[in-house]
């Protein structure tokens, strides 16, 4: 590899890294994107739904040319017990009515490969598979990276190396992850065929479903199940918070098996063929885990910066990753104009992030991580919902309480008035 100094080195060919590379390469900078996987997306995982608005800013109408799987037109959330599920479904013309509010199911292998191609077509150089071992630091300033024994220099390094970001940890920009800050996700892609999916899920053409659930899938653990429809397959997964996994006797892969066998899920998967299995960490602590975003010569983006929120009814990290990659690139372009890559100049990145939807949403939902550690949501709520729905929809001619009295007694048996008020207050605070 050459000894010459590049304009920018980006570590990590996920969504954050590829987005930064596209913007910088389009502006004419000499950009090197380094990915440790055999190809971009090889090591990446997501549940399945990409909110399109942030990529629209970089590649308008990208869905017309990108390998998206389906357009999400149907939302479903379920509270699950061992053998029951209370579903809330939503279908409306409002969902994905225009590119700016559309969301798409994606498979990262194909999608990230395509996004990296966009970066290469814009002029970025891609090195894969190459693992960056460390950052080069001179006089407190990041000046490049070391990979497979080679030293590569650049004005600035953008870290887009995912949730662990060992490189940011090496230079003390972020601490080691703690178990309560991350969840483990395990996911299987099951091929069913396009027509079978449309028929079973009540879809037409390229319409897709996003289906999240809590309760039984994670065996009462903090976490939940997910199911997204792809073109001819479905992504089925379970997410469980690391610090809470000991609460259940089940491992995460066993939780996934249990989810697939649940009576509300199994009929949809019947006859399917498993074609992919993956596991990954999800940053879950929200605003509280966002580290330093910049230092002399270096910026942190995407999951590496903790930009992800789990709202129970949806998980969002991909739109944050893309936006933060774009904003990091904007900050680098300004630093280049000023000829100064010091922390002071690169602090413009934080200003951009603070004024973007990333921080607005991370702040708005900062109470969610605490809410999602309420065991009542994963244990009591699904059971109560199941009992009440069972009462409501069962007619057996026997005497008994009205549904309202039945519900009041049921809730009183499981929780005190004080816990109930606390719980409702936490829910209100979280929104």
- Residues at the interface with ligand FAD (CB under 6 A): 11-17, 34-37, 43-50, 131-132, 160-162, 167, 185, 187, 237, 239, 280, 282, 302-303, 308, 315-319, 321
If the CB atoms of residues 368 and 383 are measured against ligand FAD, the closer one turns out to be 368
Peptide bond into 409 cis (omega under 30): no
Q: Which is nearer to ligand FAD, 50 or 79 (CB)?
A: 50
Query: Is beta strand 49-51 parallel, antiparallel or unpaired with respect to 70-80?
Result: unpaired
Tokens 């000023």: give the residue: 338
Encoded tokens for 206: 């390229």
**Which residue is at the shortest CB distance from ligand FAD?**
317
CB of 301 to ligand FAD, least distance (A): 6
Q: Exposed, middle or buried: residue 345 (CB in 10 Å: 0-12, 13-18, 19+)?
A: buried
Taking the complex as a whole, the smallest distance from the CB of residue 15 to ligand FAD amounts, in Å, to 4
Smallest distance from the beta carbon of 250 to ligand FAD, in angstroms? 17
- What is the distance between the alpha carbons of residues 31 and 119, in angstroms, rounded to a whole number? 9
Q: Name the minimum Å distance from CB 280 to ligand FAD.
A: 4
Q: State the nearest-atom distance from the C-beta of 164 to ligand FAD, in Å.
A: 7
For the packed helices 380-393 and 403-414, what is the interaxial angle rounded to 10 degrees? Answer: 160
In whole angstroms, the minimum distance from the beta carbon of 336 to ligand FAD comes to: 23
* Distance in angstroms (rounded) separating the CA atoms of residues 421 and 233: 43
Comparing CB distances to ligand FAD, the nearer of 48 and 272 is 48
For ligand FAD, the closer of residues 66 and 384 by Cβ is 66
Q: How far apart are CA 64 and CA 60, in angstroms?
A: 9
Nearer to ligand FAD, 40 or 333 (CB): 40
Using a CB cutoff of 8 Å and minimum separation of 24, what contacts does 198-201 make? Answer: 200/267, 200/268, 201/74, 201/229, 201/268
For the bound state, the minimum distance from the C-beta of residue 5 to ligand FAD, rounded and expressed in Å, comes to 20
C-beta closer to ligand FAD: residue 84 or 283: 283
Query: Between 109 and 215, whose beta carbon lies closer to ligand FAD?
Result: 109
* Token pair belonging to 89: 């479904």
Contacts of residue 389, Cβ cutoff 8 Å, sequence gap at least 6: 84, 86
CB 46 to ligand FAD: min, Å: 3
Place of tokens 């999800």: 282
What tokens were used for 256? 């996934």
Which run of H or of E encompasses 227? Answer: strand 223-229
- Identify which of residues 40 and 385 has a Cβ nearer to ligand FAD in the complex: 40
- Rounded Cα distance, 281 and 245, in Å: 13
Q: Shortest gap between Cβ of 395 and ligand FAD (angstroms)? A: 39
d(CA 17, CA 209): 28
Query: Which structure tokens are listed for 296?
Result: 């002399």
């Amino acid at each position: 590899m050459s000894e010459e100094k590049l304009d920018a080195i980006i570590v990590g060919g996920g969504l954050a890294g590829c987005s930064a590379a596209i913007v910088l390469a389009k502006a004419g900078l000499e950009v090197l994107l380094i990915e440790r996987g055999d190809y971009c997306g090889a090591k990446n995982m997501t549940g399945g739904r990409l909110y399109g608005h942030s990529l629209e800013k970089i590649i308008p109408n990208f869905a017309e040319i990108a390998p998206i799987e389906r357009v999400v037109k149907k939302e479903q959330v379920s509270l699950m017990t061992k053998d029951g599920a209370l579903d809330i479904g939503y279908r409306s013309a409002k969902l994905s009515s225009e590119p700016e509010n559309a969301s798409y199911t994606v498979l990262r292998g194909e999608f990230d490969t395509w996004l990296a191609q966009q970066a290469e077509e814009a002029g970025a150089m891609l090195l894969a598979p190459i693992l960056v071992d460390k950052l080069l630091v001179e006089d407190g300033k990041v000046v490049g990276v070391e990979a497979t024994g080679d030293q590569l220099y650049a004005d600035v390094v953008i870290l887009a190396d995912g949730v662990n970001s060992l490189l940011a940890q090496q230079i003390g920009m972020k601490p080691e992850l703690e178990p309560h800050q991350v969840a483990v996700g395990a996911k299987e892609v099951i091929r069913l065929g396009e027509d079978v999916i449309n028929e079973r899920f009540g879809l037409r053409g390229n319409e897709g479903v996003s289906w999240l659930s809590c309760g039984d899938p994670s065996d009462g653990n903090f976490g939940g199940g997910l199911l997204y429809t792809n073109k001819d397959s479905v992504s089925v997964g379970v997410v469980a918070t690391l610090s809470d996994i000991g609460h259940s006797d089940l491992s995460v892969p066993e939780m996934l098996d249990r989810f697939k066998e649940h009576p509300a899920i199994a009929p949809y998967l019947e006859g399917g063929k498993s074609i992919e299995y993956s596991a990954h960490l999800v940053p879950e602590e929200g605003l509280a885990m966002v580290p330093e975003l910049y230092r002399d010569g270096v910026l942190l983006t995407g999951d590496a910066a903790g930009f992800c929120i789990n709202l129970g009814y949806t998980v969002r990290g991909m739109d944050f990753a893309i936006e933060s990659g774009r904003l990091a690139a904007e900050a680098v372009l300004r630093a280049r104009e000023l000829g100064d890559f010091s922390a002071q100049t690169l602090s413009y990145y934080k200003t951009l992030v603070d004024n973007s939807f990333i921080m607005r949403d991370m702040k708005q939902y900062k109470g969610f991580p605490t809410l999602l550690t309420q065991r009542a949501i994963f244990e009591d709520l699904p059971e109560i919902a199941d009992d009440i729905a069972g009462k409501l929809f069962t007619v057996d001619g026997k005497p008994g309480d009205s549904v309202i009295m039945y519900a009041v007694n049921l809730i009183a048996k499981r929780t005190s008035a004080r816990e109930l008020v606390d719980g409702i207050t936490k829910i209100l605070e979280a929104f």
